[in-house]
Amino acid sequence: MPDIFGIPPQALFGQLLLGLINGAFYAQLSLGLAIIFGLLNIINFTHGAQYMMGAFVAWMLLNWLGLGYWWALLVAPVVVGAFGILIERTMLRHLYKLDHLYGLLLTFGIALIVQGLFRDQFGSTGLPYRIPAELRGGTDLGFMFMPNYRGWVVVVSLVVCFGTWFVIEKTKLGSYLRAATENPALVQSFGVNVPRMVMLTYGFGVGLAAFTGVLAAPIYQVSPLMGADIIIVVFAVVVIGGMGSILGSILTGFGLGIVEGLTKVFYPEASSTVIFVVMVIVLLIKPAGLFGRAR
Amino acid sequence: MAEAMLAVDDLHAWYGESHILHGVKFNIAKGEVVTLLGRNGAGKTTTMKSIMGIVANRKGSIAFEGTETIGLASHKIARLGLAFCPEERGIFASLDVKENLMLPPQVAPGGLGIDTIFELFPNLRERLSSQGTKLSGGEQQMLAIGRILRTGAKLLLLDEPTEGLAPVIVQQIGATIRRLKKDGFTILLVEQNFRFAATVADRHYVMEHGHVVDEFANSDLDANMDKLHEYLGV
Ligand SMILES: Nc1ncnc2c1ncn2[C@@H]1O[C@H](COP(=O)(O)OP(=O)(O)OP(=O)(O)O)[C@@H](O)[C@H]1O
Ligand SMILES: [Mg+2]
């Protein structure tokens, strides 16, 4: 196959796929942040740590209990989501009426503690997590060779993201969530148990972060700082997409992953900063973000 | 008077540090339409929100069909069979008209069917897929009332349903309230417009500075007109 803009196609598509995978992680993480922010009015800085915990729960299940990847996809979100619900019940719920800053400080503090505890236990070098046997190897697509696990991650993420979008925008349950995001007191006065809905929503958002962590474990290594590294980029994604927009977070997440991948091909020096450059440009032109409504 | 459906006694309520209600007392019998009249800031909305538990910082007694609700969370109060239509209407912008209409969950059997609601408010049927807040003020009010008729709640709290609406729509809402009374609903109505209130209500309470200061039967309204003008400052 001929080169494209002077780049061998295998390299171009390889980077595109890598970008798409990063984008899938960005999309799932910023989606969780958007849902949590919408209903709880909390900027969940613990999100990165909860993603990391998901990966660690997968590692512990495998190495301590002999339970593999498929179990981890199920168990890690439940365990880490339950941890989130505990935080919501005991701490976050006292902050909903206060300024965003309080929630941000609390969740940031929790993230530091959690990361510190994991670093203390496991050190800061990454621990390997093997791709499950069913997804090893790759497929020749003609224009590129695609590792099966990477294809799986992209497909699963798309299903999870758009499934979540569908539930929120198109179902009865979602209409409770949207309404409570606008006016929780009124929705509760109709007989809906809004405090429970808030708790479960936080648990879901946190569980989604943990699920993403399990997906990421075989691609990156499992390390206490993996969440701190990715969350900075995810917050830039959230700012670009517009805080609180569901579809905005999904599209921006995937889109920016691809932009990052392409930058790696054409101008590798900028690949780690391109998202922040985009953020600055978007903020200058549209301060509420690409999909955000001015509040 | 028959056993009260709603009995409010010595109700106090606070927003933060400010003490707004100072021992409100009134009651409503089953099937009655009762209004709370009073000037701006008298505490009418706060009284309704305290009954619904939306203002949670409250003391005293609110008994609904014999059940004390003062310690209950808002959603539990609603499930006893009360429903609230707020002054600002509370139509959700991220929901279309149909979703707004279907939002409040059923709390008891015997709510109005959707066809009956369309019969009362034919405009809504035409606008089902519009965004909730794209409706006119009158249509939003119809939606705000319509959605709480489905739920089976038997006591409706309507906070200034005619505020800012054209006379023809005020008449339509008046007719609706009379019809709902005939269907067996009990209604607590907050009104500034006592001429409108007189066309629908059985009794009136007057509020001032967080107290109920007077009470009239609708049939005695004319005899008390001077006092009422003074209370309402009109
Ligand atoms: N959220 C709030 N925080 C603090 N004070 C409030 C709040 N809402 C109302 N108040 C105060 O409580 C008092 C009673 O207000 P309320 O809304 O109950 O009056 P109202 O009788 O419904 O008046 P209106 O006819 O203007 O609707 C007023 O002095 C008002 O300023
Ligand atoms: Mg009021």
- Best of A181, A189, A192 to substitute, by most chain B Cβ atoms within 10 angstroms, is A189
Cβ within 8 Å, pair A190-B103: yes
- Rounded to the nearest angstrom, the gap between the alpha carbon of residue B128 and the centroid of all alpha carbons in its chain is 24
Total domain count for chain B?
1
Name the residue with higher pLDDT: A159 or B231: A159
Statement: residue A295 has pLDDT above 70: no
A180 interaction partners in chain B (CB closer than 8 Å): none
Predicted pLDDT of residue A280? 93
Predicted pLDDT of residue A1? 58
Predicted pLDDT of residue A171? 96
Rounded to the nearest whole angstrom, what is the distance from the C-alpha of residue A232 to the centroid of ligand 1? 43
* Confidence at A157, pLDDT banded by 50, 70, 90: very high
Cβ within 8 Å, pair A179-B105: no
Rounded to the nearest whole angstrom, what is the distance from the C-alpha of residue A77 to the centroid of ligand 2? 45
Span A240-260, pLDDT tens digits? 988 778 888 999 999 999 999
Three-state secondary structure of chain A: CCCECCECHHHHHHHHHHHHHHHHHHHHHHHHHHHHHHHHCCCCCCHHHHHHHHHHHHHHHHHHHCCCHHHHHHHHHHHHHHHHHHHHHHCHHHCCCCCHHHHHHHHHHHHHHHHHHHHHHHCCCCECCCCCHHHCCEEECCCCEEEHHHHHHHHHHHHHHHHHHHHHHHCHHHHHHHHHHHCHHHHHHCCCCHHHHHHHHHHHHHHHHHHHHHHHCCCCCECCCHHHHHHHHHHHHHHHHCCCCHHHHHHHHHHHHHHHHHHHHHCHHHCCCHHHHHHHHHHHHCCCCCCCCCC
- Expressed as residue numbers, the domain containing B182 is 4-232
* Confidence at A186, pLDDT banded by 50, 70, 90: very high
- ipTM of this predicted structure: 0.94
Output the tens digit of pLDDT for each of chain B's 234 residues: 457 999 999 999 999 999 999 999 999 999 999 999 999 999 999 999 999 999 999 999 999 999 999 999 999 999 999 999 999 999 999 999 999 999 999 999 989 999 999 999 999 999 998 999 999 999 999 999 999 999 999 999 999 999 999 999 999 999 999 999 999 999 999 998 888 999 999 999 999 999 999 999 999 888 888 888 888 886
Predicted pLDDT of residue A142? 79
Chain A: closest CA distance from residue B95 (Å): 7
Average pLDDT for A97-111: 91
CATH number, domain with residue B91: 3.40.50.300
* Confidence at A272, pLDDT banded by 50, 70, 90: confident
Looking at domain A10-129+143-285, its CATH architecture is: Orthogonal Bundle (1.10)
Average pLDDT for A218-233: 92
Predicted pLDDT of residue B118? 95
- Partners of A219 in the beta sheet? none
Predicted pLDDT of residue A294? 57
* Confidence at A140, pLDDT banded by 50, 70, 90: confident
Closest in A181, A182, A189 to B74, CB measured: A189
Q: State which residue of chain A sits closest to B49, comparing Cα positions.
A: A189
Going from N- to C-terminal start, the domains of chain A cover 10-129+143-285
Pick from A174-183, A229-238, B171-180: least confident: A229-238
